[in-house]
Amino acid sequence: MTHVLVTGGAGYIGSHACKVLNAAGFTPVTYDNLVTGWQDAVKFGPFERGELSDRARLDEVFAKYRPAAVMHFAALSQVGEAMSEPGRYWRNNVEGSLTLIEAATAANCLNFVFSSTCATYGEHDNVVLDETTPQEPLNAYGASKRAVENILRDFEAAYGLRHVIFRYFNVAGADPEGEVGEHHRPETHLIPVMLEAIVGTRPALTIHGEDYDTPDGTCIRDYVHVMDLVDAHLLGLKWLRDGKPSRVFNLGTGKGFSVREVVEASRAVTNREVPYSIGPRRAGDATKLVSGSTRAAAELGWAPGRSTMAEMIADAWRWHRNGHYDR
C-alpha cells in the first residue's frame, strides 16, 4: 500500500486530489487542521489532524505511514487578507511549509508536489505568462508561495528533495459525481460567490473595479477545472516516481475570461439573473493573468479537457445546490 501525505486534504483542491489518488491505487493521508477544511470532505483515506507548524506531530505522521510523497496544498490564499495581514501569510505559508519540508526530508520522503500560484508572477501588462516569466508578486500570498519554491530548491541542493511545482491559475468547478466540492469560510472565489448571489444566500455579487485596461473594464483570469488540475498532480507524482528531475509547470488553459464574461456565462448555464454591483478595486489584484505555457501538455501529457467555462459553472452549480458539507 503506497501512502501519499496530502496537506490540506480536507480543503477544496486537496479533497479532489485525494479522490484521484484513491482511484489511482494510492492511499491519501489527509493532514489538516480543519480551520478552512471540512471533516466531511475526508472520504478517500485516513485523516490526521494537525498543524503545519507542529514538527512533533508531523514526525509522528511520517513515521506512522511512511509516505512515498507529499502533496502540499495547505495554505492561506485570500489576496485581500494577504494585503491587510501579511505577517499571517508569511508565518503560515512559509514557516509552516518549511517545517513540513524539514519533516519530509528527515523522514527520507523526497518526492514533493507543491501547490503554488500564478500570483508569484505579479502583473505583466499584455504578457501571456509562462514558467520563464519573472516572478514579481504584488502581495504576501504570491510572495509567500515564491518563497516556498525557493526553499524547495535549496532543500533539493542540500538533501535531494525532488519536487514538482504547479503554478495555478484560477481553479473552478467541482467533482462531477458530487462527492466533494468547493465550500470556503468565508467564500471569496468568483463563481461560488456568484452562485450564492443567484440563489439569494448572500447579497449581490460585487465586481471589484470596472476601470481596468481590459475590453470591458473588469479583470481577466484564466480558469481551470479542479478535476483537470488534480489530474495534473497525479501526473506530477508519476513524474517524480519515474525519477525525472524537479520541474515547474503552469496549470491554465491559455484563455482568459473577464469577470463580466463569467457573469454572462453563469446566466446562460443557470438560466437565472446574476445580481451584482460595482465596487472599488481590491488592492493586490492584477489586471490580467493568463497562462501561455504548453509545458504541462508537452512534458506531462496533461490535457485540461473539462475546463470550459460552461462545464466549470455547471459542475459548481450542481455542487452548490446539492453538496455543501454544512447542510
Helix ranges (DSSP H) in the chain: 12-23, 55-65, 79-84, 86-89, 96-106, 140-159, 190-199, 226-241, 259-270, 295, 309-322
Task: Check whether 325 has a pLDDT greater than 60.
Answer: no
Q: What is the pLDDT of residue 36?
A: 84
- Distance (Å, rounded) from C-alpha 153 to C-alpha 151? 5
Q: What is the pLDDT of residues 30-70, one digit of tens each?
A: 999 999 888 999 999 999 999 999 999 999 999 999 999 99
Q: What is the pLDDT of residue 190?
A: 87
Q: What is the pLDDT of residue 320?
A: 84
Distance of CA 46 to the CA centre of its chain: 21
CB-CB contact of 95 with 47 (8 Å): no
Sequence ranges of the chain with CATH classification 3.90.25.10:
190-221+254-322
* 256-258 and 220-225 beta bridge pairing: antiparallel
- Average pLDDT for residues 124-140, to the nearest whole number? 85
Q: What is the pLDDT of residue 326?
A: 58
Give the number of other Cβ atoms within 10 Å of residue 136's Cβ: 13
CA distances from 163 to 5, 36, 90, 259, 318 (A): 14, 25, 21, 34, 35
Task: Check whether 278 has a pLDDT greater than 80.
Answer: yes
Q: Torsion angle of alpha carbons 142, 252, 14, 64, nearest 10°?
A: -80
Q: What residues are paired with 170 via a beta bridge?
A: 223
Question: Measuring CA to CA, which residue among 213, 313, 216, 296 is closest to residue 254?
Answer: 296
- Distance (Å, rounded) from C-alpha 16 to C-alpha 13? 5
Cis before residue 186, ω within 30 degrees of 0? yes
Q: What is the pLDDT of residue 282?
A: 82
CA 36, 37, 39, 41 torsion-angle sign: positive
Determine whether 108 is exposed, middle or buried from the number of CB atoms within 10 Å of its CB (0-12, 13-18, 19+).
exposed
Q: With pLDDT > 70 as the criterion, what percentage of the chain qualifies?
A: 96
> pLDDT grade, residue 134 (50/70/90)?
very high
Q: What is the pLDDT of residue 125?
A: 64
Q: What is the pLDDT of residue 327?
A: 45
Q: With pLDDT > 90 as the criterion, what percentage of the chain qualifies?
A: 72
CB-CB contact of 306 with 312 (8 Å): yes
- Average pLDDT for residues 142-151, to the nearest whole number? 96
Query: What rounded mean pLDDT belongs to the chain?
Result: 92
Angle subtended at Cα 273 by Cα 268 and Cα 277, rounded to the nearest 5 degrees: 120
Q: What is the pLDDT of residue 48?
A: 98
Q: What is the pLDDT of residues 171-198, one digit of tens each?
A: 999 999 989 988 767 667 889 888 888 8
Angle subtended at Cα 188 by Cα 187 and Cα 193, rounded to the nearest 5 degrees: 70
Q: What is the pLDDT of residue 323?
A: 62
Please tell me the class of the 3-172+223-251 domain. Answer: alpha beta
Q: What is the pLDDT of residue 183?
A: 76
Sequence ranges of the chain with CATH classification 3.40.50.720:
3-172+223-251
Q: What is the pLDDT of residues 78-95, one digit of tens each?
A: 777 778 888 888 998 999
Q: Rounded to the nearest 5°, which phi and psi values hold at 248?
A: -110, 135
Q: Indicate the CATH number for domain 190-221+254-322.
A: 3.90.25.10
Q: What is the pLDDT of residue 116?
A: 96
Q: What is the pLDDT of residues 284-305, one digit of tens each?
A: 677 888 898 799 999 999 999 9
Q: Is 223 a catalytic residue?
A: no
Q: What is the pLDDT of residue 308?
A: 95
* Active-site residue identified among 141, 168, 212, 223: 141
Question: In the sheet where 162-168 sits, what is the strand order?
Answer: 47-49, 27-32, 3-7, 69-72, 111-117, 162-168, 247-251
Q: Rounded to the nearest 5°, which phi and psi values hold at 291?
A: -85, 135
Cell 500570483, located at residue: 119
